[in-house]
Amino acid sequence: MGKSCKGALPLYDPKSQPMQKEKTYKIIVAYDGTNYCGWQRQPQVSTVVGVLEQRFQAVFKTEIALLGASRTDAGVHALGQVARFRTTLSIGIEQLKNAWNNVLPADIIIRELTQVEDTFNPQHNVAQKTYYYHFFQRRPLPFVYRYGAYYKPTIDLEKLTECLNVFVGTHDFRSFCTGQDKENTIRTIHSITVNSFKKYGFYRITIKGPGFLRYMIRRIVGACLDSACTPELTKEHLITALAEKNPSQKFDTAPARGLILRKIVYK
């Protein structure tokens, strides 16, 4: 194997490591989703899982299958995606993490790697997921533009908060998802808050809940931002749309680049 471009970290030599009984590991991954067609593996396109599995095989000469907690869509980012894999490799945790990170592209990094019980499933027993949605009210600097959506119309922040609060609680969110991927579209949102970071020129919407439907957050945020800059749209329009349980709404879907999976907490 050729010399690593990250010379500070040693490469892994699979021939020097004996195999052993299969173990289960949990990883916490951060990634910039700009250059990927989402988290989930797909044929003939680049995905985060695809890169992680391919690079693992390249350095350790054995295959793994990653199971992720959340299937983030194309262009969506993560600071705290959780995934599980199993392997029979006999290797220390720090060496495994460092050798794997050493061959990953700059836009993906494994933040934590720990051994867990074989029964661990990252999609089960989730207490809460936290997502950020960032948006700008002035043109962002070039090195941050890909992590937030730029909205030229003036956003009424008080109205935005009022609209977002429509969705807090347990509701049928069929009107605010694809409407096709799940038969049960009832979900619970624990809280939604809006914070201003004027020093950095962006706003953050923080959404917390145990689970979300595909496009659910982006459709809620898009509808609320649309309403917050359009005088004739009120929170009553959102209440009506939510009650209709019809995914064919005319509200905007917020761009993927503003959405970040912040963290996942388990029971």
Just list the catalytic residues: 73
Which of 204, 226, 251, 262 is closest to 76 using CA atoms?
Answer: 262
Helices (H), 28-92: 48-60
Kind of pairing, strands 126-136 and 149-150? parallel
Residue positions counted in the chain = 267
- Give the up-direction half-sphere exposure of residue 65: CA atoms within 13 A in the CB hemisphere: 1
Contact 133/252 with Cβ under 8 angstroms? no
Contact 134/264 with Cβ under 8 angstroms? no
Cα separation, 154 vs 157, whole angstroms: 9
